[in-house]
Structure 1
Amino acid sequence: MAKQVTAFVKLQCPGGQATPAPPVGPALGAHGVNIGQFVQRFNDMTKDKRGLMIPVIITVYNDRSFELKIKSPPAAVLLKIAAKIPHEKKKGGDVIPADSKKGGKYKGFSVTMAQVRQIAQDKLVDLNARDLDHAARIIAGTARSMGLTVNE
């Protein structure tokens, strides 16, 4: 009898640093997946992307086995790294200013078109783009919506 898919679980975990703590433990424990085995396999597969948030899709089968599909980091994260935006820490009681709901949180920072094309090349398999130029336009649009300036 063939294996049947019982669930698809989508998570974002830090590359090379996943732990059984939430959100990984509860999400996978509900489907009977061996959490320790997942953490070990995920960390081995993403050890070269240490610290980046890596999306992963876990396909869970009826015999409690699973498959991992590692995606590329979100475009916004890669753009922040390219623009050298400092890492920000949020405190629990911070009040969000009313004007921050508009786009453009990172005004004053910029990326070059070469950096945009490199990010597009890295994300090409995960984007719904017909070629590299189209993917670069998608990434440039993400940069503009973040408030970054795209320089030629």
Structure 2
Amino acid sequence: MAKEISGYIKLQIMGGQANPAPPVGPALGQRGINIMEFCKAFNDKTKAFAGKPIPVVITVYKDKKFDFEIKSPPASHFIKEAAKLKGGSKEPGRSIAGSITKKQAEEIATQKMKDLNAHDLEQAVKIIAGSARSMGIEVKD
């Protein structure tokens, strides 16, 4: 018989840097989850992503046990990395903060493919290009 699910917690934590401080501690504490157990497991799984923001979905069960699923870092993180910027444009659509090439967008799309709602690479590239455009970053051919 499957465990009964109590709820889900969605967090974005830097890879390999989960600690009991906010936002992790309070979010897990109010559900009665062992915070240190989660932090150790998360840090072990995300050592390769050190310094990158990692979205995680924690499934909390009625017996206070938990499972978690790690997603790939946000597209905006990859786009900023590719454009070598700290942030996007202050006025997206009006001013351009930087640019990335179509090839860079394809690389980002291949990394994000499992988390994107796209059937093929071409559609995934369009999603990434849209994200870049909304950040004020131009995608050049």
Match of 1:63 in 2: 63
> Structure 1 counterpart of 2:7, which letter?
A
1:148 and 2:137 matched = yes
State the shift of 1:146 in Å.
1.0
**For 1:33-62, what per-residue CA distance to the aligned partner results, in whole angstroms no more than 9, with x for missing partners?**
110010001111111111111100000111
**For 1:104-142, what per-residue CA distance to the aligned partner results, in whole angstroms no more than 9, with x for missing partners?**
587241111111001111111111111111000000111
1:124 aligned counterpart, secondary structure:
helix
- In 1: Cα distance, 2:2 partner to 2:50 partner: 36
- In 2: Cα distance, 1:150 partner to 1:36 partner: 42
> Structure 1 counterpart of 2:108, which letter?
I
Match of 2:74 in 1: 74
Match of 2:86 in 1: 86
2:115 aligned counterpart, secondary structure:
coil
- Unpaired segments ≥5 residues, structure 2: none
- Unpaired segments ≥5 residues, structure 1: 89-98
* Counterpart pick for 1:103 among 92, 117, 126: 92
2:26 aligned counterpart, secondary structure:
helix
- In 2: Cα distance, 1:144 partner to 1:21 partner: 34
* Counterpart pick for 2:118 among 129, 134, 139: 129
1:42 aligned counterpart, secondary structure:
helix
TM-score (norm 2): 0.92
State the shift of 1:86 in Å.
3.4
TM-score (norm 1): 0.86
Aligned Cα root-mean-square deviation (Å): 2.0
> Structure 2 counterpart of 1:121, which letter?
T
| 1:12-91 correspondence runs (5 A) | 12-86=12-86
The 8 Å contact of residues 33 and 64 in structure 1, kept in 2 or not, is answered as: yes
The 8 Å contact of residues 105 and 146 in structure 1, kept in 2 or not, is answered as: no
Q: Tell me the percent identity.
A: 52
Runs of 4+ aligned residues of structure 1 deviating over 4 Å after TM superposition are none
> Structure 2 counterpart of 1:6, which letter?
S
The 8 Å contact of residues 58 and 66 in structure 1, kept in 2 or not, is answered as: yes
